[in-house]
């Protein structure tokens, strides 16, 4: 069965510090991983997807199949990065499975 684990419910970092939000998954097939973000009083929205290998708002995430991880990283956190972040796994059935989320707070 598929599963997405985000071990940290809360994460606080100072502005300008590096940030890493952890995500591990379990899935027997070929995974597709995503990061979604929800800013205060806004909708859940797509941040980035692993297949595009892009950087969005300074965030990057690399799929590590050996470690079954898809950690989200940013070298210098900004106050506007404070939000709820969800890692999601898409299976062959084309449905998304979400982790429990990590609330990131960037301290000024």
Partner 1 sequence: EADIYQTPRYLVIGTGKKITLECSQTMGHDKMYWYQQDPGMELHLIHYSYGVNSTEKGDLSSESTVSRIRTEHFPLTLESARPSHTSQYLCASSEPGDRDYGYTFGSGTRLTVV
- Within 77-96, the residues that bind partner 1 by CB under 8 A are 86, 94-96
End-to-end CA distance of the chain: 41
Q: How far apart are CA 106 and CA 108, in angstroms?
A: 6
Nearer of residues 62 and 79 to partner 1, judged by Cβ: 62
* CA proximity to 87, closest of 52, 48, 59, 29: 48
Question: What track of x and - describes contact with partner 1 for positions 27 through 66 (by CB under 8 A)?
Answer: -----x-x-x------xxxx--x-xx--------------
- Which CB atom, from 60 or from 97, has the smaller least distance to partner 1? 97
CA-based nearest residue to 1, from 42, 29, 32: 29
- Would you tell me which residues interact with partner 1 (CB under 8 A)? 4, 9, 32, 34, 36, 43-46, 49, 51-52, 86, 94-101
């Amino acid at each position: 069965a598929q599963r997405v684990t985000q071990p940290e419910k809360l994460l606080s970092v100072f502005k300008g510090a590096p940030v890493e939000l952890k995500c591990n998954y379990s899935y027997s097939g070929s995974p597709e991983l995503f990061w979604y973000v929800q800013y205060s009083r806004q909708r859940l929205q797509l941040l980035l997807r692993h297949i595009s290998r892009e950087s969005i708002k300074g965030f990057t995430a690399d799929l590590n199949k050996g470690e079954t991880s898809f950690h989200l990283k940013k070298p210098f956190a900004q106050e506007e990065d404070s939000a709820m972040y969800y890692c999601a796994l898409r299976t062959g059935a084309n449905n998304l499975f979400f982790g429990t989320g990590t609330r990131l707070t960037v301290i000024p």
